[in-house]
C-alpha cells in the first residue's frame, strides 16, 4: 500500500484526533509548577504526547515548555515545527469554538488551521511512514511548541536544552514555500518633556493604538485653550478631514477639545492594507498653532519623518532587495502626556540587511532631538536560497502532489520556521484560500486536512529517506 491510500484509510482517525485536540482550550494561562503556560496549554501537550506515544514514537516532555515525537535513525535530525497554543476565541462564533463540530464537511474550532489541524496532519503523516515501514536514513522530530502566539519562550527553552534539527519546515503559513521572511525590528522613539510653554492652544494628551504590530484603528487627543482657539481648531479639522477623506470628529466641552480619529486595522507587516488612525491625527495636530516647545518638536519630528508613509523613506529607511522587496514601517502605538511620550514602531526589513544597519540610521536621524530609542527587540530575517536541498525537495513534492508550480514566496510576517536553521514555512493554506487564523468561525475542510496529510507525508519522507 502506498502513502496516499494508507492515509485515506486513516481518515476517520485523523478527523477524530483533530476534534479531540480542538476540544482542549489551550490559550495561555497563569503559570503553575511544571506548566509555564498554564493548565490548558499543558493539557494540549499531554494529549499530543500521549497520542504520539500510542503510535509508537519516542516522546519527551521538555519541562512543560515544549515536547516532541521522534522517529527514525541516523545522525541527522529533521524538525517539523508545530504549535498547540491558540489565541483567545473572541466573540461572534456560529459554533462552539472548542466543540470540534463538523458542519458541511468542515471541522470548526479555534486552532483548526492555526495550528492543531496541521499538527495532527504531520503526526499522521509520520505514522503512515512508520506503519508502512518505509526505509529511512535520518531521524525526524515533530516539535510541539506551546507559546508561539505570545512570545516563543517555548522555542527559546527547547533550543537551550535539546538537540537542534539541521533543517525542517513549519506548517503554519501557506503553500507553496515561504523561503524568505523579513527581519522584524520593534522599538520605541521616546522623549521626556522639560521645556513646556503656555499658549492659546496646548496639547494635554494623545493616545492611540494597542500593539506595535497592528495598524491602529483609533486615536484620541485632548487639547486645552480659549474658546476662540478651540473653535478655530475644530473648524480646521472639518476642512482637513474633508480634504483627506479621513474619519475624524471633534467635541468641545468647556475649555477642552477632544479629537477622535478612526482608521482601519491591519497586520503590522501589511501597513498598506490599513488606515493609520494615529498618523491621521498626528499630521493634523502639526497644522495647529501649538506653542513651539518640546511637545511640538516631538510631534513635528514624527509627522515629518513618518507621518502617513509606511516605507521608511522620510526617516532614511527606504531599503529593499530582490529577494524580499521593500522595508515597511508601522507606527502602531503613540502615548503622550505632558511629562513624556513614546511612539512604538514595527519595522519589517529586507532579508539582506541586519538590525544594526537600521539602528545606525535611526540614531543618526534622532541625533540632537532629545528623542532616544528604547525597548528594542529584533527577529533576524529568514532566508533559505532556492538551490538549497530543503527547498528543492519541497518544490518537487508540492509540484508532484498538486500539479501546480511551486512558487517561492517572501513575506513580512514571522513564522515558526525562524526557530531553527535552514527551515521554511510550508502550508497549510493553498493559494487563494481564505485566511481564517485568529478569526471567528475558524475551520478546516476535511478534504483539505487529508490532502495536506498526504503532502506532509511525501515531504517528510523525501527529507528522511
- Cell reading at 380: 533576524
**Full domain range(s) for residue 354:** 184-379
- CATH number of the domain that residue 351 is part of: 3.30.70.360
Half-sphere exposure of 54 (CA within 13 A, CB side): 10
Q: Assess whether 304 carries a catalytic annotation.
A: no
Q: Same domain, yes or no, for 357 and 415?
A: no
Q: Are residues 159 and 297 both part of a single domain?
A: no
Among the candidates 362, 379, 396, a domain finishes at: 379
DSSP string, 317-382: ---EETTTEE-EEEEEEEEE-SSEEEEEEEEEE-TT--HHHHHHHHHHHHTTTT-EEEEEEEE--E
CATH number for the domain harbouring residue 91: 3.40.630.10
Q: Are residues 369 and 446 in the same domain?
A: no
Q: Residues 332, 347: one domain?
A: yes
pLDDT less than 50: residues of the chain: none
**Pair (270, 411) in one structural domain:** no
Q: How many domains does the chain have?
A: 2
* Predicted local distance difference test score (pLDDT) of residue 443: 95
Candidate list 28, 51, 85, 224, residue with the active-site label: 85
**CA 342 centroid distance within chain:** 23
Residue 206 shares a structural domain with residue 92: no
Q: Are residues 361 and 456 in the same domain?
A: no
At 68-102, the pLDDT tens digits run: 999 999 999 999 999 999 988 888 899 999 999 99
Q: What tens digit of pLDDT does each residue of 395-442 get?
A: 999 999 999 999 999 998 888 899 999 999 999 999 999 888 888 899
Task: Tell me the backbone φ, ψ of residue 220, rounded to 5 degrees.
Answer: -140, 140
Shared domain check, 353 and 302: yes
Final residue before a domain boundary, out of 379, 407, 435: 379
Residues 93 and 61 in one domain: yes
How far apart CA 183 and CA 382 sit, in angstroms, is 7
Which of the residues 28, 51, 89, 148 is marked catalytic?
148
Whole-model pTM: value is 0.82
The pLDDT, as a whole number, for residue 211 is 87
46 with 101, same domain: the answer is: yes
Look at residue 275 in the predicted model and tell me its pLDDT. 95
| Secondary element (H or E) of residue 426 | none
| Residue 311 confidence (pLDDT) | 96
Q: Are 80 and 167 in contact (CB under 8 A)?
A: no
Judgement on whether residues 289 and 334 belong to the same structural domain of the protein: yes
Same domain for 369 and 429, yes or no, is no
pLDDT for the residue 98: 97
Specify whether the CB–CB gap between 37 and 146 falls below 8 A: yes
> SS3 of 406, please?
coil
pLDDT number for residue 91: 85
Asked if 182 contacts 188 with a C-beta cutoff of 8 angstroms, the reply is no
Boundary-marking domain end, from 331, 362, 379: 379
pLDDT of residue 441: 92
Specify whether 272 is catalytic: no
Amino acid at each position: 500500500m502506498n502513502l496516499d491510500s494508507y492515509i485515506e484509510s486513516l481518515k476517520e482517525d485523523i478527523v477524530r484526533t483533530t476534534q479531540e485536540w480542538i476540544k482542549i482550550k489551550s490559550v495561555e494561562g497563569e503559570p503553575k509548577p511544571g506548566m509555564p503556560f498554564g493548565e490548558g496549554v499543558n493539557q494540549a501537550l499531554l494529549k499530543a504526547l500521549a497520542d504520539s506515544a500510542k503510535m509508537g514514537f519516542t516522546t519527551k516532555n521538555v519541562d512543560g515548555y515544549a515536547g516532541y515525537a521522534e522517529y527514525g535513525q541516523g545522525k541527522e535530525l529533521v524538525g517539523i515545527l508545530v504549535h498547540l497554543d491558540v489565541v483567545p476565541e473572541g466573540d461572534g462564533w456560529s459554533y462552539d469554538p472548542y466543540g470540534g463540530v463538523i458542519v458541511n464537511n468542515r471541522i470548526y474550532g479555534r486552532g483548526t488551521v492555526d495550528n492543531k489541524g496541521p499538527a495532527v496532519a504531520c503526526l499522521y503523516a509520520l505514522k503512515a511512514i512508520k506503519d508502512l515501514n518505509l526505509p529511512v536514513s535520518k531521524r525526524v522530530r515533530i516539535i510541539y511548541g506551546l507559546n508561539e502566539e505570545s512570545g516563543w519562550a517555548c522555542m527559546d527553552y527547547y533550543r537551550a536544552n535539546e538537540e537542534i534539527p539541521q533543517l525542517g519546515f513549519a506548517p503554519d503559513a501557506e503553500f507553496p514555500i515561504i523561503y524568505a521572511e523579513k527581519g522584524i525590528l520593534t522599538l520605541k522613539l521616546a522623549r521626556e518633556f522639560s521645556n513646556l510653554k503656555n499658549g492659546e492652544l496646548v496639547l494635554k494628551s494623545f493616545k492611540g493604538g494597542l500593539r506595535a504590530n497592528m495598524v491602529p484603528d483609533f486615536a484620541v487627543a485632548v487639547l486645552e485653550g480659549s474658546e476662540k482657539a478651540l473653535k478655530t481648531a475644530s473648524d480646521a479639522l472639518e476642512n482637513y478631514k474633508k480634504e483627506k477623506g479621513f474619519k475624524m470628529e471633534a467635541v468641545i466641552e468647556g475649555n477642552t477639545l477632544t479629537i477622535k480619529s478612526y482608521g482601519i486595522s491591519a497586520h503590522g507587516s501589511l501597513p498598506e492594507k490599513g488606515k493609520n488612525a494615529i498618523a491621521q491625527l498626528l499630521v493634523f495636530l502639526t497644522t495647529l498653532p501649538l506653542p513651539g516647545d518640546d511637545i511640538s518638536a516631538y510631534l513635528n519630528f514624527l509627522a515629518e519623518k513618518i507621518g502617513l508613509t509606511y516605507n521608511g523613506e522620510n526617516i532614511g529607511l527606504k531599503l529593499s532587495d530582490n529577494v524580499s522587496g521593500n522595508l515597511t514601517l508601522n507606527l502602531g502605538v503613540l502615548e503622550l502626556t505632558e511629562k513624556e511620550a513614546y511612539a512604538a514602531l514595527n519595522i519589517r526589513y529586507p532579508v539582506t540587511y541586519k538590525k544594526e544597519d537600521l539602528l545606525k540610521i535611526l540614531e543618526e536621524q534622532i541625533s540632537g532631538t532629545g528623542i532616544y530609542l528604547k525597548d528594542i527587540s529584533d527577529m533576524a530575517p529568514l532566508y533559505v536560497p532556492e538551490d538549497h536541498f530543503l527547498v528543492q525537495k519541497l518544490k518537487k513534492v508540492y509540484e508532484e502532489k498538486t500539479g501546480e508550480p511551486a512558487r517561492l514566496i517572501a513575506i513580512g510576517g514571522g513564522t515558526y520556521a525562524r526557530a531553527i536553521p535552514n527551515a521554511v514555512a510550508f502550508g497549510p493554506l493553498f493559494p487563494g484560500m481564505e485566511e481564517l487564523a485568529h478569526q471567528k468561525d475558524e475551520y478546516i475542510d476535511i478534504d483539505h486536512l487529508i490532502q495536506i496529510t498526504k503532502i506532509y507525508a511525501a515531504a517528510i519522507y523525501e527529507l528522511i529517506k
